[in-house]
Chain A
Amino acid sequence: MSSSWLTTRAWLLMLPLLAVMVGVIGWPLAETVRLSFTDAKLVGTGGDYVGLANYSKMLTGSAFQKTLWATLWFALASVAIEMVVGVLAALLLNEKFYGRTILRALMILPWALPTVVNATLWRLIYNPEYGAMNAALTQIGLIDAYRSWLGEPGSAMWAIILADVWKNFPLVTLIALAALQAVPRDTIAASLVDGAGPFRRFRYVTLPHLAGPLMVALVLRTIEAFKVFDIIWIMTRGGPANTTRTLSILVYQEGFSFQRAGSGASLALIVTLMVSLLALAYGGLLRKTAGRMD
């Protein structure tokens, strides 16, 4: 068989996938680009060419900068905590103790819990009048009076981050645990013979095996966190005083609540560009990590 026939055959087999991709991703994306240069409304026809007006309006608007910071805050804090707690839990689950098999199995549960249910559950827990958080902290004696965790600008974002961390750190744990189980026992034994303590063993024996998988988890989680919509929409809708409004929420408000399809599209493309830059930067980091750790 000639290689050109093999290539043609490959394209034919990919045709259904590519048709779907062009239809539900390629076309809408191109249309978003076109809309971003118009003043189109969500409902109704028309939409005149306005050049870069939408972009400059969005980038210079007071909402954008505040929203960008909120998004970065959410993404950095939640992902950093998830990585640290996730790896610590994996190190724990790699040790021998009674009930280890069951505990390992349970780690899948927060991950499997639908995001919307998780957000709803934590909203109930944070309820200012009847929530379990207030009840528990008052009964322990940590707070004197019930608080509105999601209603106060000072605590709302942290409350959401806690809910997000609880759901997502087990994913990091599962990935890290699989990598830990792949560390050769001989290498660990050799480091023990050489007299390495637990910290040096972690740094020089365990960490090199963890670095690659953890970088992948870090990239995926950061991109997810940067695009976050569901958990925030359910818990606060971006409030109070827009302190938890992230970029996806802002695009939703612009494009759907205010029905300004044109400026919503331009904002969506700005967010897309940021995620792409983030992914590119991570890609470089990923290659560097792979080079150094080998």
Chain B
Amino acid sequence: MERQSLFAKVMLHLAALLLAAVILTPILWLFVMSISPAADLSAKPLNWWPSAVDLSRYVTLLSRVENSAGAAVTSSLANSLIVAGMATLAAIVVAVPAGWAVSRTPSVGWSLNAVIATYMLPPVALAVPLYMGLARLGMLNSVFSLALVYLTILAPFTTWLMKSGFDGIPKEIEAAAMIDGANLWQTLRIVTLPLALPTIATAVLFAFLLAWDEFFYALLFTSDLRAKTLTVAIADIAGGRVSDYGMIATAGVIAALPPMLLGLLMQRALISGLTSGGVKG
């Protein structure tokens, strides 16, 4: 490799510092807002560093006092977990057999292409009939309906991930198990699925993050604490007449912590998922 001159080295480190600042400043500012006393946030000139650490907003938002902002956040936190959990589970249950079938039977591959093409559909193209249909069935404002609707987003993606995962597991291993007398179910359970576990983990992670992030359908199909998710609760708090901006920031931190921690901890799985389509072609 080339030897770097001192000047190039200094420039490189300056550029890296700049990139780190660009990435971190908004995130740190969100956190600082959430722990700054309200007076600091409305001061002119603005207090960039909190004069005291104020954790009271976290206490308020994570309490369960009825009809408070806390009740809205805690119940929507639970709803988000339930909806994302159910939708992820359902997406994996339909994606694993379908992904395997497409991977091992190329003649049905076109059907997966059709499923993936639905990614182009803007949610607004499905929203009106889904709303009218759910309204007629009396199923609006329900975590089950929302999880079901989320399958429109999660299922194509997880199936595609599972298909590329199964593509990486040689058919010959399955054939060998079959020759040794295992039937199809045994082969899949003992040989294929354990080898596919890393892909399944990646698919679970992506599905959960996508569901956690979803806003449009949740905004349309939920109306109160029984089903509102965290993204809608945050939009409510931000759109309402709050005098303390720190409260909005605190709700944001609460919603952002789970996916950001997952992102940092599961970095490898995420990047392999992000690039599996792109890099391998």
Contacts and interface: CB of A to CB of B under 8 A. Distances in A.
A132 B246 CA distance: 13
A227 B16 contact: no
Given A14-B111, A20-B155, A179-B278, A248 B24 contact: no
A77 interface: no
B46 A24 contact: no
B122 A272 contact: yes
B101 A10 contact: yes
Interface string B91-110: 00111011011101101100
A275 to B, nearest CB: 5
A284 interface: no
Contacts of A10: 101-102, 104-105, 107-108
B126 A32 contact: yes
A64 interface: no
Interface string B222-242: 000000000100110010000
A6 B109 CA distance: 13
A124 B120 contact: no
A151 interface: no
B123 interface: yes
Interface string A248-282: 10011001100001001100110110011001000
Nearest to A95: B12
A217 interface: yes
A25 B123 CA distance: 10
Contact of A279 (B26, B120, B279): B120
Contacts of B216: 229-230
A32 B128 contact: yes
Contacts of B126: 24-25, 28-29, 32
A213 interface: yes
A120 B33 contact: no
Nearest to A267: B124
Given A17-B155, A32-B125, A109 B149 contact: no
B97 A16 contact: yes
B256 A216 contact: no
Main secondary structure of the interface of B (DSSP, over half): helix
A182 B46 contact: no
B27 A29 contact: no
A145 to B, nearest CB: 12
Contact of A175 (B95, B97, B255, B278): B278
B235 A105 contact: no
Nearest to B159: A17
Interface in B229-271: 231, 234-235, 238, 245, 248-249, 252, 255-256, 259-260, 262-264, 267, 270-271
Top 10 A-B residue pairs of the complex, sorted by shortest distance between their CB atoms: A112-B263, A31-B129, A135-B46, A10-B105, A213-B278, A13-B101, A17-B98, A28-B129, A10-B101, A13-B97
Interface of A: 3, 6-7, 9-11, 13-14, 16-18, 20-21, 24-25, 27-29, 31-32, 35, 42-43, 89, 92-93, 95, 97-100, 103, 105-117, 120-125, 127, 129-130, 132, 135, 138-139, 166, 170-171, 174-175, 178-179, 182, 189, 192, 212-213, 216-217, 223, 226-227, 229-230, 233-234, 247-248, 251-252, 255-256, 261, 264-265, 268-269, 271-272, 275-276, 279, 290
Given A13-B101, A108-B271, 10 more contacts: A16-B97, A28-B129, A29-B129, A107-B23, A115-B213, A116-B231, A123-B238, A175-B274, A252-B127, A271-B122
